[in-house]
Structure 1
């Protein structure tokens, strides 16, 4: 285990990515042809799609539609997330070209020391708000209400929207205000006459940030909420992967409608989007399901269990429907089709799984770095529900899955908090399970260099990467998670297909941040217009003939 106040061994991928950005690596990046004349880009993100999943299903011929795309595409065998693998930073990488350092998204549940409570409309009280932009961002969740509508209630929950002083004026911070840099949707609309954009994802209102800071980047943002209650089953759509398929089917139909020149509902004729896409959840739900019930994988080689097998077949069939519709409308030859993921899932090898509960939070609370009773942020609301407007201000926060993001109640305690963590590294019922070679505790200058300065309010004070296969939970309902930088979280499938390309495999170490500038370059738009691309020097993907 390494304590990273100066360097980051668990984030050693940075060096490889820097090398790749400068053009050096062992790879094959000389295509027999190139992307030229593309008029549309369709981006499909499959939550949980590891590189190994992509390779295994193509080899086993269990994803024929994806394999067919690969016949005219470049498959990247060393694509990685930029340091964190939650859905928000994972998608932000794909759409902004940036890591959390520039885009500012660390998790859908995070903390910002500069913000005021939603109820503090004058910005006159204490600062420091636990920002929750998830299923409770829709108005259904107001006052702790049930999530009864598929569209989240067709409005923002005002109790979920914090405030900030902007030029001296107390101003609401919607998700699109929260992201710090622009998105491919905004750039395309600004640079291409009559361009249209569309996206569909898992939360109806939390994903408003894909609009970018302008709030207007996406013309057709499908308002679908995966955690809403399906009246047919009286449960949400995440209880079993076959139920999640019904939710993902909504997005398949949305894409088909858009290929047909209609909006996502099919109600209006508006023209085919220039850049559009969606996210699938079915595979992620199958991966998380308990191994004993057929979820996840059967071994360390990512051999899929029954649920993952079914989920991959479902996703492949869904992609086949999109391809068939593109061909039927004579759009396939002019559309770049990108298949990738926001994040992977950890661990694939169930025998390595460790679930001792959130020992990280318990240790912080026991040593007075966070409230000893867990009364901090949105964990301390009057109704017990998130985003009911009654969370506590200025408390600090800890967010953990298979990573730990720590915003201390008192940032001046960072050094002592790191020392406490160091003294409890063991993988025991009270230790934080960070005693292995791939574990790390990131703070100080090394953290600021990678993720930004915590003193600016958004970046955590400490990031703990536990040993691979450790999940900070005692839940019996899931045997895999994501969010951190474990190998199974961060090594993703990535395929860029276009009829102008010949099949190629590229072993360059690349980041998923390189997808965003590649989208723009495919459309002959300057990638440097993306603010994160300019800030981080993100390059287009190699091997595409640009």
Structure 2
């Protein structure tokens, strides 16, 4: 890989070399002395974390090679770039973001997707909790909002969208408790932060007296507050799946890529205000947070939409961004550039470490491989077959999430039931459609591998019988996307390289310059790295202790 700066890169490819980089950064992060070579090597006082959803390492390499003087090239070439970083599996937004900020995988955090199921909870609205129930959906999407059609999630702001920065920094005020699952032990609703089994970077930072902030796409990102419910002091969560103001009726902010860029711009404005030392709405001067950041959505929608703004979405060929995606890489680059410029303007560049990564990739990056399959008939057929074989029985499928993976929770968790479901799904064939909408046959329900029962728990390193782990986990054949229509050309959630291979760059204060680490790393290592950069103990994180998650080899 060629470098994107005037400084030649040092390629780190072995464990010994990676440890050398660790030692170099540890020394760099030590208290400054009269002989310190540059202020930028002092320990960080701030960490700015940026997640560009859908971005692959290959996208970053493609873009920076063509734009060597861009902000993204400045980041990648100016610090430590990890060229083989993998996000969590499942590669969904919630386990992905939770992993970055806890250090844990779903088997430890208990968060498998943004819409899952728990056999230990009762359905939303339950008021009589004396008897055990069938389990409950755990929805961490826009459906929890008081008003999911509103950009402010139901806060009731006047003058939207222009007034959106006046949105509350406490998203628990925007969640409808009647939509939350119920804990049978307390008979009380379970908020997202209470659902998380481990603590977060934000909680550790707050306990050390440091300020925290974050911006994301649903009020359900209250989950990042952690079990204490107090981790993020300023959590700005405009609803991305609300009705896009000024766009066609029925379109949310993801259905038109121009709308998604506009939406991302609100979060960038919030972070700029925080860099300047204000809260996200610039109403109170509170000081620049020690840990803060945001996620971008515009690249993700550019990968998913067949067309938008008159441009073709997705990829032209394997790994080659099309015009819509290329334009959104430009957009993200401009926004990142604005954030970096503001850090310099506020004289914070030498005390701030910037971490760039992604919650998830997107699959497939090869348009010719796309096979869209409607999963509805597959699940309906499974239920019908189960009831035919078990007269008087109800549906076997309690809940399912199928994007480019298949996660299924069953009403009957016995070995016999999981084996029945596995055999049925692997025997199904049919016809889907390809990138041009023409018919494409599929076999085995579009699956390459299907884990069931104890094997599904083992796949996630979870305890067999855990109340949250799916009963079936399907790894799809490459290119399969489960969708009932033809509007979507990519998805995430699966275990393919296109889903998992994301960029990871750490640059700024307390980092060496121009290092490339080619050995495998994981985005869960971001969490202990943030704490180390701030001089805090990574073992303060529950998941770090449980999984022995190491900080990235930069320190």
Q: TM-score range by the shorter chain?
A: 0.7 to 0.9
Confirm or deny: 8 A CA contact 1:101 1:450 kept in the other structure. Answer: no
Larger Rg: 2
The number of aligned residues is 490
Q: CA deviation at 1:318?
A: 0.5
- Is residue 513 of structure 2 the alignment partner of residue 508 of structure 1? no
- Is residue 272 of structure 2 the alignment partner of residue 270 of structure 1? no
- Is residue 217 of structure 2 the alignment partner of residue 210 of structure 1? no
Structure 1, unpaired ranges of 5+: 1-22, 142-146, 378-393
Aligned residue runs from structure 1 range 408-419, under 5 A: 408-412=410-414, 413-419=417-423
Task: Name 1:89's counterpart in structure 2.
Answer: 95
- Is residue 216 of structure 2 the alignment partner of residue 201 of structure 1? yes
Aligned to 1:364, the other structure's residue is in SS state helix
Q: CA deviation at 1:242?
A: 1.5
1:131 aligns with one of 138, 149, 163: 138
Q: CA deviation at 1:369?
A: 7.5
Q: In 1, Cα distance between the equivalents of 2:409 and 2:14?
A: 37
Aligned to 1:465, the other structure's residue is in SS state strand
Structure 2, unpaired ranges of 5+: 1-12, 30-42, 156-172, 433-440
Q: In 2, Cα distance between the equivalents of 1:369 and 1:217?
A: 46
Task: Name 2:158's counterpart in structure 1.
Answer: none
Aligned residue runs from structure 1 range 57-456, under 5 A: 57-61=63-67, 64-125=70-131, 126-141=133-148, 147-153=149-155, 155-166=174-185, 169-190=186-207, 192-193=208-209, 195-203=210-218, 205-233=219-247, 234=249, 235-290=251-306, 294-300=312-318, 302-358=319-375, 360-368=378-386, 396-412=398-414, 413-424=417-428, 431-434=443-446, 439-451=448-460, 452-453=462-463, 455-456=465-466
Q: In 2, Cα distance between the equivalents of 1:155 and 1:445?
A: 38
Aligned to 1:516, the other structure's residue is in SS state helix
Q: CA deviation at 1:211?
A: 0.3
TM-score (norm 1): 0.85
2:530 aligns with one of 497, 519, 528: 519
- Is residue 463 of structure 2 the alignment partner of residue 459 of structure 1? no
Deviations 1:11-70 (A, max 9, x none): xxxxxxxxxxxx975975533942521111000000001010111111111770011122
Q: In 2, Cα distance between the equivalents of 1:348 and 1:212?
A: 34
Confirm or deny: 8 A CA contact 1:42 1:277 kept in the other structure. Answer: yes
Task: Name 2:436's counterpart in structure 1.
Answer: none
Change over 3 Å in CA distance of 1:62–1:368 after alignment to 2: farther
Q: In 2, Cα distance between the equivalents of 1:76 and 1:226?
A: 30
Q: In 2, Cα distance between the equivalents of 1:175 and 1:369?
A: 34
Q: In 2, Cα distance between the equivalents of 1:278 and 1:471?
A: 27
Q: In 2, Cα distance between the equivalents of 1:210 and 1:130?
A: 20
Confirm or deny: 8 A CA contact 2:458 2:464 kept in the other structure. Answer: no
Q: CA deviation at 1:171?
A: 2.3
Change over 3 Å in CA distance of 1:56–1:26 after alignment to 2: farther
Q: In 2, Cα distance between the equivalents of 1:173 and 1:335?
A: 36
TM-score (norm 2): 0.83
Q: CA deviation at 1:240?
A: 1.7
Aligned to 2:187, the other structure's residue is in SS state strand
